[in-house]
């Protein structure tokens, strides 16, 4: 039976953080840590380096704002110029509200879609769900999963961290 990885269960956020750091220092390259709430420092301890979300949101905002303004300019100046109250066709102060709204809208949508895409969600099936105890990962338990390592070595290593339990995660 091929394994997705070896998983250990912990009772607290501090224990998981310490375990993740130790695994990282011991040379385990592919570490996944699961917790019922975000824990400061944990992503870095599992080797998380570059967070692309701010760049994606910025790109979305720029696209929405610039695109929105150009749309109004094109329609009011080139495609369908009409005289409204004697204002010039390119009456930019009145293009601001829609430009602003589209900046916010596209930035927000880009951020959410980007977050889901980078996280690989939605993904309804995942091997870690095969571990029965993993149901508690969304309640009060904390899990560390070591991947792409020799299973026996990983089990021995995890046992040294004094977890509440150790499981093999089938693929």
Which residue has 């338990």 as its token pair? Answer: 141
Query: Is position 88 an interface residue for other proteins (rule: CB under 8 A)?
Result: no
- Interface residue with other proteins among 111, 146, 157, 163 (CB under 8 A) is 111
DSSP string, 53-101: HHHHHHHHHHHHHHHHHHHHHIIIIII----STT--S--GGGGHHHHHH
Nearer to other proteins, 27 or 97 (CB): 97
Q: How far apart are CA 45 and CA 118, in angstroms?
A: 19
Binding site for other proteins (CB under 8 A): 13, 20, 32-39, 42-43, 45-46, 48, 51, 53-54, 57, 61, 71-72, 75-76, 79-80, 82, 84-85, 87, 91, 94-95, 97-98, 100-102, 104-105, 107-109, 111-112, 114-116, 118-119, 121-126, 128-129, 134-140
């Amino acid at each position: 039976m091929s394994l997705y990885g070896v998983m250990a269960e912990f009772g607290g956020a501090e224990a998981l953080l310490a375990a993740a750091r130790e695994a990282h220092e011991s040379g385990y390259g592919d570490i996944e840590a699961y917790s019922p709430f975000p824990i400061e420092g944990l992503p870095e301890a599992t080797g998380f380096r570059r967070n692309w979300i701010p760049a994606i949101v910025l790109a979305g905002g720029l696209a929405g704002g610039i695109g929105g303004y150009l749309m109004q300019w094109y329609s009011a100046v080139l495609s369908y110029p009409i005289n409204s109250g004697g204002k010039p066709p390119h009456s930019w102060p009145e293009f601001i509200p829609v430009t602003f709204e589209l900046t916010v809208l596209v930035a927000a949508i880009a951020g959410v879609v980007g977050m889901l895409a980078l996280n690989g969600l939605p993904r309804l099936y995942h091997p870690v769900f095969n571990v029965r105890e993993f149901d508690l990962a969304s309640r009060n338990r904390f899990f560390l999963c070591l991947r792409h390592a020799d299973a026996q070595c990983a089990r021995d290593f995890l046992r040294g961290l004094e977890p509440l339990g150790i499981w093999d995660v089938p693929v």
